[in-house]
Amino acid sequence: MSVLDKFRLDGRVALVTGGNRGLGRQMAQALAEAGAAVALTSRDQERADQAAQEIAQSVAGATAAGYACEVSSYEQSAQVVERTIADLGGLHVVVNNAGINIRGPIDELAPEAFQQVIDTNVTGVWNMCRAAAGHLKAQRYGRVINVGSTLSIIALPERTPYASSKGAVLQMTRVLALEWAQYGITVNAMLPGPFSTEMNLALEQDPEKYREFIARIPLGRWGDLDEIGGLAVFLASDASSFVTGAGMTVDGGWTAH
């Protein structure tokens, strides 16, 4: 098998939470282009359907399905896992991408804001891993990709909810990598720097904050959306068969400082 063949995902089924827009949408598209059947979620069924339809139409021979899922609900997470397996014939790759960011000095944030970020970014990842565990362990194969952030490993002011949550995502990734290695399941985190998505509109529209970010990034720019798919395919495929428990940055060199 050539090295490029190891990146192929033919016959695999990948589930991407929050796959209807932003980084999740890009990763869902990339996984489909590599040959996987893709299930993607949004909290809204129509938005999920729309993205699934776009992927199915743009990638020759692709299968894509959209599901509504609030990831902070264990019940809904388990339902999506069940429906993916029933509708697409299996589950091999889980990309825990759904996430939110609420920024502000700690004394200006409502306690509910902190809880909402933790519920989505931490409990959501735990729920989906918990829901997929039985199936992945039984088939003795799986690729789990949790989306952390540069803020999993470094800090910025006014990010107590988000940085706390993303630090937890990296630690959860490491624990599960240890727990599941014996079942042939790898668990890794990708740690992106800034990409232009809805989550970052406020930063992008503030020239001073935007310049501050660029100044921290050795490559001197934000990430382009199409620069996330390569790592997703690598971590989802047999090309990464000896990689587990890793936190891989995609950040233009930011965290090399």
In single-letter form, the type of residue at position 90 comes to: G
* Interatomic CA distance for residues 15 and 79, integer angstroms: 12
Among 9, 22, 59, 229, binds ligand NDP (CB under 6 A): 22
What is the contact mask toward ligand NDP in residues 149 to 168, using x (rule: CB under 6 A)?
Answer: x-------------------
Q: Which of residues 98-127 bind ligand NDP (CB under 6 A)?
A: 98-101, 120, 124
Q: With contacts defined by CB under 6 A, how many residues of the chain interact with ligand NDP?
A: 31
Task: Give which of 90, 69, 56 is closest to 17, Cα–Cα.
Answer: 69
User: Of 67, 141, 162, 183, which one is the catalytic site residue?
Assistant: 162
* Nearest to ligand NDP of 35, 161 (CB atom): 161
| Residue 197 makes contact with ligand NDP by CB under 6 A | yes
The answer to whether residue 135 forms part of the interface with ligand NDP (CB under 6 A) is no
The first and second tokens of residue 44, run together, are 């809204």
Q: Fill in the per-residue mask, 46 to 85: x = in contact with ligand NDP (CB under 6 A), - = not in contact.
A: -x---------------------xxxx-------------
**Residue numbers 228-257 binding ligand NDP by CB under 6 A:** none
In the chain, the N- to C-terminal Cα span, in Å, equals: 38
Strand order of the β-sheet with 13-16 is 64-68, 37-42, 13-16, 93-96, 142-147, 185-192, 247-250
Q: Could you say whether residue 18 binds ligand NDP (CB under 6 A)?
A: yes
What's at 133, amino acid-wise?
A
Pick from 61, 198, 207, 220: which binds ligand NDP (CB under 6 A)? 198
- Supply the minimum distance, in Å, between the C-beta of residue 101 and ligand NDP: 6
Q: DSSP of 201-235, one letter per residue?
A: HHHHT-HHHHHHHHHH-TTSSPBPGGGSHHHHHHH
| Nearest distance, CB of residue 70 and ligand NDP, angstroms | 5
Q: CB of residue 130 vs ligand NDP: minimum separation in angstroms?
A: 15
> Contact region for ligand NDP (CB under 6 A) — 96-104, 131-139, 180-188, 241-249?
96-104
Residue placing its CB nearer to ligand NDP in the complex, 97 or 160 = 97
Cα–Cα dist 183/246, whole Å: 17
Q: Which residues contact 48 (CB under 8 A, 6 or more apart)?
A: 19, 20, 40, 41, 42, 66, 67, 68
Can you tell me the distance from the alpha carbon of 250 to that of 228, in angstroms, rounded to the nearest whole number?
Answer: 7
CB of 102 to ligand NDP, least distance (A): 11
The length of the chain in residues reads 257
Asked if 162 is an active-site residue, the reply is yes
Task: Give the pair of three-digit tokens for residue 37.
Answer: 């059947």
Catalytic residues: 162
Chain residues in the site for ligand NDP (CB under 6 A)? 17-18, 20-24, 42-44, 47, 69-72, 97-101, 120, 124, 147, 149, 192, 194-195, 197-200
